[in-house]
Structures are given as structure tokens and as C-alpha cells.
């Protein structure tokens, strides 16, 4: 992608396309997401060639849909289309391990933990909730959110693999969210 276009926001590229009908603007816009979309496809399809095909299909859909409808959040739109396509491809593939893979497609859409943590004024309650987590989850969540360590650093400190670190953070933040929400609702009721 030429450097000269990098400063232009997605919304402005769409506006330029609508103004002069030149599909090159859409091309510049879509190229920003190539690697991200390929990564999403690889996560679900776990197959390089099928992932490449899927990205191409998403691009073709975007080129045909962008001119028709106003798109507010280009990344969000592309992500939804890509996930839906992967979901369909997985179903068509009649994947025997499909239950697990398709299960991955359904994501937790609740409030991000970072927001919840930011809003959480009573630090004592957070620490108390952290203390109730399993040891491995507590170590990883504390290192990531409070000590601002990267996955690699946490892996080096704890001896876990990066995959285990991510898994502990995912499980830990889910449990932490539940505990915080539980305490908030108990507090509200009281």
C-alpha cells in the first residue's frame, strides 16, 4: 500500500469512492485488512489455501456491498462477514471436530473486562476477587492487566507456554468478570 494513503481514515476512503466511483479507493481500504482477515480465517479454518480463498471471497463481497450501503465500521463489518463465511465453510466441510471449531465462532460479546476494570472504583474488591481465582489464572491476569506484562514476558516468568498464558488470561478474566458482576449485583441488592 502506498505510504501516501496511510494517513487517510477508512471513512474518508469510502467517501472518496462515493464521490468519484473509483474502486481503487476500495482497494486501498481493503488492503489494510488483508493480513488481519487472513489471520481470522486461519484461526477458524486452519487451512492456508482455504483461508486465502475465504479472504478473496470477503473482498469480492465487500466490493459489491460497499457501494450499496453506508458502512460505519469497516473493520467490524469485514470481521462479521469473515466469521460468517468461515462458519459456513466449516459447516460445508462437515468437519467432524466441528462442534469445537464452530463453538469458537460464538464469542463472548459482553462488556470487555478492561472497561469493567476501569470502571471498578473499589480496588479492594478487585483484589479480593483476584484472590479467589485459581493460582495460575491469578498470576497471569495480574501480570497482564496490572503489571502490564506481555504474553512472552509472563511465559518467561511463570514457565507456562504462550498458549497456556493466553488460556489462563481468558479463563481468569471470565471468572473475574463473573465474580465482579456477582459482587456488583449483590452490592446493588444490598
Partner 1 sequence: MEQKKHSDKRKDQIDEQYLLDYLRGSLSPGEQHELELMSEQNSLLEDALDGLSTFDKPEHLQDISQQLNQQLRNHIRASRGHRRRRKKNLQLPAWIYVLAVILLLLLSCWVLYIAL
Among the residue ranges 94-102, 111-119, 134-142, 182-190, the one whose residues contact partner 1 (CB under 8 A):
111-119
Question: How near is the Cβ of 94 to partner 1 at its closest, in Å?
Answer: 22
87 binds partner 1 (CB under 8 A): no
CB atoms within 10 A of CB 3: 6
Among the residue ranges 48-56, 95-103, 131-139, 174-182, the one whose residues contact partner 1 (CB under 8 A):
48-56
Three-state DSSP class for residue 190:
coil
Distance of CA 57 to the CA centre of its chain: 20
Rounded CA separation 45/36 (Å): 14
CB 44 within 8 A of CB 103: no
96 binds partner 1 (CB under 8 A): no
Residues in the chain: 190
Buried b (16+ CB within 10 A) or exposed e, 127-158: eebbeebeebbbbbbbbbbeeebebeebbeeb
Output 125 or 174, the one with its CB closest to partner 1: 174
Site string for partner 1, 132-161 (x = CB under 8 A): ------------x---xxxxxx--------
38 binds partner 1 (CB under 8 A): yes
Gap between the terminal Cα atoms of the chain: 57
90 binds partner 1 (CB under 8 A): no
Among 16, 17, 41, 138, the residue binding partner 1 under the rule CB under 8 A is: 41
CB 165 within 8 A of CB 155: yes
Residues in touch with partner 1 (CB under 8 A):
1, 6-7, 9-10, 23-24, 26-27, 30-32, 34-44, 46, 48, 51-52, 55-56, 59-60, 63, 75-76, 78-79, 83, 107, 112-115, 144, 148-153, 162, 173
Amino acid at each position: 500500500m502506498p505510504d501516501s494513503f496511510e494517513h487517510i481514515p477508512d471513512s474518508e476512503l469510502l467517501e472518496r469512492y462515493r464521490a468519484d466511483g473509483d474502486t481503487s479507493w476500495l482497494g486501498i481500504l481493503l488492503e489494510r485488512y488483508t493480513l488481519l482477515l487472513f489471520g481470522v480465517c486461519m484461526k477458524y479454518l486452519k487451512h492456508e489455501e482455504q483461508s486465502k480463498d475465504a479472504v478473496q471471497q470477503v473482498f469480492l463481497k465487500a466490493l459489491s456491498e460497499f457501494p450499496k450501503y453506508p458502512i460505519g465500521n469497516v473493520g467490524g463489518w469485514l470481521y462479521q462477514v469473515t466469521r460468517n463465511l468461515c462458519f459456513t465453510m466449516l459447516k460445508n466441510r462437515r468437519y467432524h471436530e466441528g462442534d469445537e471449531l464452530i463453538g469458537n465462532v460464538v464469542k463472548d460479546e459482553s462488556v470487555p473486562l478492561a472497561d469493567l476494570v476501569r470502571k471498578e472504583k473499589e480496588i479492594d474488591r478487585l483484589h479480593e476477587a483476584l484472590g479467589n481465582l485459581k493460582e495460575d489464572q491469578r498470576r497471569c491476569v495480574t501480570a497482564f492487566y496490572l503489571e502490564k506484562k506481555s504474553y512472552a514476558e509472563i511465559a518467561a516468568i511463570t514457565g507456562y507456554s504462550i498458549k497456556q498464558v493466553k488460556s489462563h488470561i481468558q479463563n481468569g478474566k471470565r471468572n473475574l468478570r463473573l465474580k465482579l458482576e456477582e459482587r456488583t449485583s449483590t452490592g446493588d441488592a444490598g
